[in-house]
Each structure stands twice: as structure tokens, then as C-alpha cells.
Amino acid sequence: MEKINWTLFEGSSHCEEGLGFFVLGIIKTFDEFEKWFLPHMREQAAEVRKMKGRGIKKMRQSSARAFKRFCGNTPVEEACRG
């Protein structure tokens, strides 16, 4: 299994927002998550394709850790601040 390159999701508000929506369940499936990045962010969409088959619960947890690493807060804390 290939590793997910989480650094591709860092630094872009669109990527961070997508991660947050995925963690919170607003984006419900891997297909919706992949479409979030298409057509302009193909590298991120390719990383989402790697996530398929690993379990959505596990990938939401990993996405939450990546989000906190990038933003300093959890998606819920960011939403409450906002």
C-alpha cells in the first residue's frame, strides 16, 4: 500500500477546507472527496484515490490528524471559531 502524502493538502485553503469537510462528514464518500479537488488539483485527487480501500473511518481519523497538524485546531474548533 502506498503512503498518503498529506503535505499535498497543506497551505491551500481549498485543501484544508476539503479535509475539514471530509472529517466532519459533510463530504460523505471518497468519490465526493475526490471530486472536491477536480479538475484543477489532480495531485490531491490522486492521493484521495489512494485512500480508497483503507476504510473511511480510518481515513477520516488520519485526515483529522493532518488537519490539526496544518491548522493547529481540529475542524470542530475551527468551525466554532469561525
For residues 67 and 61, give the distance between their C-alpha atoms in angstroms, rounded to a whole number: 10
Q: Kindly list the distances between the CA atom of residue 31 and the CA atoms of 71, 73, 80, 81, in Å, as whole numbers in the listed order.
A: 24, 26, 27, 29
The stretch 35-56 carries a mean pLDDT of 97
User: What pLDDT, on a 0 to 100 scale, did the predictor assign at position 80?
Assistant: 86
Q: Where are the domains of the chain?
A: 6-81
Grid coordinates given for 14: 481549498
Summary mean pLDDT of the chain: 95
Which pLDDT band holds residue 82 (cuts at 50, 70, 90)?
low
pLDDT digits (tens, 9 = 90+) for 1-28: 789 999 999 999 999 999 999 999 999 9
Amino acid residing at 61? Q
- Where would I find the beta strands (DSSP E) of the chain? none
Conformational region of residue 11, where left means phi above 0, alpha means psi within -120 to 50, and beta covers everything else: left
Pair 82, 16: CB distance under 8 Å: no
